[in-house]
Amino acid sequence: MTVRVGVIGAGMIGQDHIRRLTDVVTAARVTAVTDIDAARAEEVAARVGAVALPTGADLVGSPEVDAVLVTSWGPTHAEHVLSAIGAGKPVFCEKPLATTADDCLRIVEAERAHGRRLVQVGFMRRFDAGYRRMKEVIAAGTIGAPLIVHCAHRNPTVPDAYRSAMAAQDTAVHEIDVLRWLLDDEIVSAQVLTPRATSKRFEHLKDPQIMLFETAGGVRVDLEVFVNCQYGYDIQCETVGEDGLVRLPDPAAVGIRTAGLHSTPVLQDWKGRFADAFDTEFREWIAAVETGATPTGPSAWDGYAATVITDAAVRSLESDGTVVTVDMKPRPAFYATGGTA
Ligand code: NAD
Ligand code: ISE
């Protein structure tokens, strides 16, 4: 069977996922597209032989759509995800699941009332080969009990519209999700410190930021978020355990020797760094939809947890670095298995 996907939001990542669902994932086809910019929806839909529909509600209700992909702006996600759950259709929602914890909980409650998991959230790092290997090594006990995780998330530059809170909400949110999954542990507190700001930033921005997290099991995490580092897109992660450590590999790149220098190019954006992870994420999602299996990826509960933890980090940033306890509801048994561990 070919899974017919309807896409809400035909912007930058929406178009990239439409290309992926068309050219990479053989079991899927994009049949409908909508965007508040109707001309954009028409143009993108025409490229892949899909229909352009006026609204998200029309798309969710279309008999030509088996599953929904939400790639619109964050504040609109909850409405579209709830609509898909209401129609009983599987829905893949780019991060964030919703921009408030209350909206995330509404989604969780709607999905529980439906009785079957329909929602997957677009935290693609869980599908990256390096992170997957790292999780296997930790789970096998090879480095003993994990004690500390050192991470860095660096972007070359960000636009003027990027605000200080987005360091947690838009950027660190990927580490927050992947660390919960890697360690199979919950984050219970967050603290955000601001060293001297780089001069190479827009004036309003606090950059870099150092985020410190503690897990229920006592693991300490330090994460440097530096979104104007100039030199490239650089993701680092090293878990230190009682018997050794495991480190994320750098992306494969040729070594160049010239003019007395040995150098290795550094990637410039996240699209290239996680291209394979995005492909795997969509292959696995479509396979689950096709067979009616529970999605293997991050659940609505993981989306809720990520929003609650980023809220705690933003509160710390806004209160000059106080340690903020994460105020998370107990996880319902409904989310105990199937991609959450
Ligand atoms: P974008 O602005 O390029 O595209 C968003 C599109 O959605 C626009 O075309 C806009 O007109 C449309 N839109 C907005 N509200 C809509 C609505 N209610 N109905 C229909 N269309 C609507 O943004 P983007 O960079 O593609 O980001 C989209 C989402 O993807 C964001 O939530 C973002 O955080 C997420 N994202 C995830 C990753 C990742 O690494 N997983 C990377 C980039 C962006
Ligand atoms: C961007 O919004 C993303 O979601 C990317 O995956 C992330 O790594 C990047 O730093 C963000 O700006």
User: What pLDDT is attached to residue 19?
Assistant: 98
| CA R_g for the chain | 20
Q: Rounded distance, CA 142 to CA 178, Å? A: 19
Q: How far is the CA of 9 from the centre of ligand 1 (A)?
A: 6
Q: Is 170 in the pocket of ligand 2 (CB under 6 A)?
A: yes
Q: Is 125 in the pocket of ligand 2 (CB under 6 A)?
A: no
pLDDT at 200 over 80: yes
The pair of three-digit structure tokens given for residue 12, joined into one six-digit string: 């930058």
pTM of the predicted model as reported, rounded to 2 decimal places? 0.97
Contact 180, 163 (CB under 8 A): no
pLDDT at 253 over 80: yes
Q: Rounded distance, CA 267 to CA 18, Å? A: 23
User: What pLDDT is attached to residue 1?
Assistant: 84
Q: Which tens digits make up the pLDDT trace of 171-199?
A: 999 999 999 999 999 999 999 999 999 99
Q: How far is the CA of 180 from the centre of ligand 2 (A)?
A: 18
Phi and psi at 224, nearest 5°, equal -90, 120
Q: Is 11 in the pocket of ligand 1 (CB under 6 A)?
A: yes
Q: Which tens digits make up the pLDDT trace of 104-129?
A: 999 999 999 999 999 999 999 999 99
Q: Which tens digits make up the pLDDT trace of 7-62?
A: 999 999 999 999 999 999 999 999 999 999 999 999 999 999 999 999 999 999 99
Q: Domains of the chain by range and CATH? A: 3-125+276-298 (3.40.50.720), 128-268+305-325 (3.30.360.10)
Say which ligand is closest to the CA of 121.
1
Strand 51-52 with 28-34, pairing: parallel
* pLDDT above 90: percentage of residues in the chain: 98
Average pLDDT of the residues of the chain: 97
For residues 67-85, give the mean pLDDT. 98
Q: Is 31 in the pocket of ligand 2 (CB under 6 A)?
A: no
User: What pLDDT is attached to residue 341?
Assistant: 35
For residues 224-239, give the mean pLDDT. 98
pLDDT band at residue 153 using 50, 70 and 90 as cut-offs: very high
Q: How far is the CA of 170 from the centre of ligand 2 (A)?
A: 6
Query: Ligand 2, closest atom to CA 124?
Result: 6
Whether the link from the prior residue into 208 is cis, omega within 30° of 0, is yes
Residue nearest atom 11 in ligand 2 by C-alpha distance: 171
User: What pLDDT is attached to residue 267?
Assistant: 96
The pair of three-digit structure tokens given for residue 256, joined into one six-digit string: 């160049």
User: What pLDDT is attached to residue 336?
Assistant: 87
- The one-character DSSP state at 66 is S
Q: Rounded distance, CA 122 to CA 113, Å? A: 22
Query: Ligand 1, closest atom to CA 76?
Result: 18
Q: Is 307 in the pocket of ligand 2 (CB under 6 A)?
A: no
The residues that bridge with 7 in the sheet, in sequence order, are 33, 69
Which phi-psi region, left, alpha or beta, contains residue 140 (left: φ > 0; alpha: ψ -120 to 50)? alpha
Question: Residue 183: is it exposed, middle or buried by C-beta count within 10 angstroms (0-12/13-18/19+)?
Answer: buried
* pLDDT above 70: percentage of residues in the chain: 99
Give the angle 220-131-234 at the CA atoms, nearest 5°.
80
Which phi-psi region, left, alpha or beta, contains residue 74 (left: φ > 0; alpha: ψ -120 to 50)? alpha
The residues that bridge with 33 in the sheet, in sequence order, are 7, 52
pLDDT at 4 over 70: yes
Q: Is 270 in the pocket of ligand 2 (CB under 6 A)?
A: yes
User: What pLDDT is attached to residue 339?
Assistant: 42
Query: Ligand 1, closest atom to CA 8?
Result: 20
Q: Rounded distance, CA 294 to CA 127, Å? A: 16
